[in-house]
Chains A and B, each alone.
Chain A
Amino acid sequence: MAVTDADVRLDRRASRVLARRMRRSEADARKRLTSRGATLAAIAIAIIWTIPTFGLFVTSFRPGADSATTGWWTVFVHPGFTLDNYFQALTSGGTALTLGSSFLNSLAIAIPATIVPIAIATLAAYAFAWIPFKGRGLLFVFVFALQIVPIQMALVPLLSLFSRGLSVNGVGIFPGFTLRDVDHSFATVWIAHAIFAMPLAIFLLHNFISEIPNELIEAARVDGAGHGQIFLRIVVPLSTPAIASFAIFQFIWVWNDLLVATIFAPSSSLPLTQTLNSLSGSWGDRWYLQSAGAFISIVVPLIVFFSLQRFFVRGLLAGATKG
């Protein structure tokens, strides 16, 4: 026991020395990394980065005729502001929908298109990580490899599957949805987004879920928990950061998506990006409305990002460091 004590003391001394050295090298590194020049450079980069967005923001409050003739910076000399762009953008739209109604469509698309793939991917990731079955490794590599299929390649086949169904040698396998004329149906867009999100979602969540200590899962098994209980009571609560950060990714990706929705959604279910795109008109003569539309569209991703950001950095690294 005495020997152990001495060891401990020795260890303490060693650790004190180590700690001192660490502090010194940390201070060293900090000194090298943080100089007044570096801080100034960081601030300068931040300002330069923000200028275009700021310009867009100013433009969104300028009367259209002013924007067409002078740059936004002249506003500091000749101020002239209006909220008219926002009113016009919300009510005109430039296609069958107004920006306001397509804003609701975007929410109706983005929320299920975030929840559905995450629900399925978490289940799949759990299965890949903790349920041993034949060909698991091969199947996982296959799912992972699906990420390299470009979305554009899948558009026509998937759309054809939705609208015409699938039959092999005259035998009907899948009848297809006859959704072409159904107003306000989002099913095809949800399914398409869910499909396109799946490979990356499964990959990221699998890497996180497989890092849960084996002891935890085993202890649960010993206590008589089945897969359902392990999944719901251990895996899901533990992987909340990873799920939340992927949810941010997926939500913002779906919110900003134009292509998938344009191809799959019926005309009455088109999202915000589509109306935003059309706002300027055929000849681009009302482009100043797009600046207002852009800021209306930015609001939701900002809310999502700031309300979930505490998960973001943590979750971003999740699964990234698996050896």
Chain B
Amino acid sequence: MSGLIERLPPLRWTAALLRRLGLRGRSVVIAVPFLWLLVFFLVPFLVVAKISLSEAAIARPPFTPLLEWDGLRAIVTLNFGNFAFLFDDPLYLNAYVSSLRIAFVSAVITLFVGYPIAYYIARSPEGRRSILLTLVILPFWTSFLLRVYAWQGFLRSNGVINNFLLWAGIIDQPLVMLQTNFAVYLGIVYTYLPFMILPLYANLVKLDESLLEASADLGGRPAATFFHVTLPLSMPGVIAGFMLVFVPAIGEFVIPELLGGPNTLMIGRVLWNEFFSNRDWPVASAVAIAMLVILVVPIMILRNAQAKTEES
């Protein structure tokens, strides 16, 4: 059998070239992904931090440089005004608080919806398990934007839900659901549900059934077994799923924009408007830095939960 290297000459040539250059394979293999992420993931945050300290200007690009030469020396102008502005204008503080609240409540609801589903799938016979899992993941492969758009059609005043309720005679006035915070919660729960179910399932499927039997043998009622055995053991899955919903939902833009009303304040939307409508790049950068500071703690919690899952 001839290997891939023989069949693909470019691979062979690249390997030979690297050997000729005296580069050890190991360091090259480390360097490629490392440099990519360094340049395109880490360095951009430094650029954002830099621009958050400059001032908006009518120029291309629309901000003042931090560093200027007056011929002899470099003049560094740092402007903390953008951050002061974030604290002065209640809009920003309200947007942060409101984003955290919306993301937290949605993550809690997603947990309550996702846990029974994950539990049911994990306890199903093996053949049915993979079919149910595919059904959970399938919507994730279709466009996120189109799924949010589908909810618009469901929730509007002449939409599917209102038409059904009017037809059934349950209501005689259409309910206002679109452009409310309720629609935003619904949209987040809907689009992030697979991210909750998958880590929970991965955890629950590994649960040792003999522990449940032991608890039952010792006279534990199903509810007691659940709260004293199943739930504590599935905590790493709960934390991972919760954070995978909570953290990205804080910065969500599409859902509040398409389902929320003008009063739905979320920080991702504020950043978008600062950038695209006001064209104030420095303030948008300051908003991003402040958002990152808020995200650090939940991201650390997520990493710890994942590390624990890997150990077990």
Bound pair: A and B? Answer: no
A residues contacting B by CB (< 8 A) are: none
